[in-house]
Amino acid sequence: MQTNPTPLPYGSLVAVGDSFTEGMSDLLPDGSYRGWADLLAARMAARTPGFRYANLAVRGKLIRQIVDEQVDVAAAMNADVITLVGGLNDTLRPKCDMGRVKGLLTEAVERLAPSCKQLVLMRSPGRQGPVLERFRPRMEELFACVEELAGRHGALVVDLYGAPALGDPRLWDVDRLHLTAEGHRRVAEAVWQSLGYEPEDGEWHVPMPATAPPDWVTRRVADARFARQHLLPWIGRRLTGRSSGDGRPPKRPELLPYEGPA
């Protein structure tokens, strides 16, 4: 994890990306999602009067959609900090042109880096299990591109992929694709520290205490529920060309003073 040793008085934050940045599955009582970007904004706002925040992320977006729908909007806001996380949805598709994905990510970074004081990129977390192993080569190819772009454009890279704690299945929701509230809290802490702020949790990357694994019956029940509630609908959307984000507006489309969850 790269860290800025002298934090600037950052007065604004714009978050760009997909469901990870929208905050799924950090569910609030009203049915909306919070997530690491909101948690980070709340911390920054507590230290900077008049702090402004926008979150353009929409679940299900591919890197082409992020570039077309979010990047120019974010660049025009001239925020102090922009976070960009995208491309992982592409790597999870059965067919993925990694050259195209990396080219689009490069385009996004080249547009965003000059428009802000600090661009933040990430090596996204991966849940331990067969899905990660199947797509690991693509993910690592994407992350190598992230590192290279950061070096060229002065961006920070938050290494969540390399944090053992964030691979723990207990920090992932039942859909096995999105972090729990505790997972998002740890991500917010990681980004906070990368920006040079004093740590509030110096052990965010430390794995949770070991517990006895669930028994065979519990695992099979969980597998069946996952397949019924999440895997089959996901396959259905892929076959019909639909996305979970179709028709959804950005989470916080305007750069406005942060006053808590939307």
Residues 6+ apart with CB under 8 A from 83: 13, 14, 15, 16, 17, 21, 37, 119, 120, 121, 122, 191
How are strands ordered across the β-sheet holding 156-159? 156-159, 118-123, 81-85, 12-17, 52-55, 252-257
Q: Where are the domains of the chain?
A: 12-257
39-91 confidence digits (pLDDT tens): 999 999 999 999 999 999 999 999 999 999 999 999 999 999 999 999 999 99
Q: How do residues 209-260 score in pLDDT, each as one tens digit?
A: 877 677 666 656 555 565 555 455 555 655 555 566 667 999 999 999 998 7
pLDDT at 5: 47
SS3 100: helix
CA distance 119 to 232: 36
Asked if residues 163 and 109 have their Cβ atoms less than 8 Å apart, the reply is no
Q: Quick count: other Cβ atoms within 10 Å of Cβ 235? A: 11
Nearest Cα neighbor of 180 from 83, 67, 73, 36 is: 36
pLDDT over 70 percentage in the chain: 83
pTM above 0.85, yes or no: yes
Return the pLDDT at 138: 96
Q: In the CATH scheme, what is the code of domain 12-257?
A: 3.40.50.1110
* The pLDDT of residue 26 is above 90: yes
Cα 148 → chain centroid: 19
Q: What does pLDDT average to over the chain?
A: 88
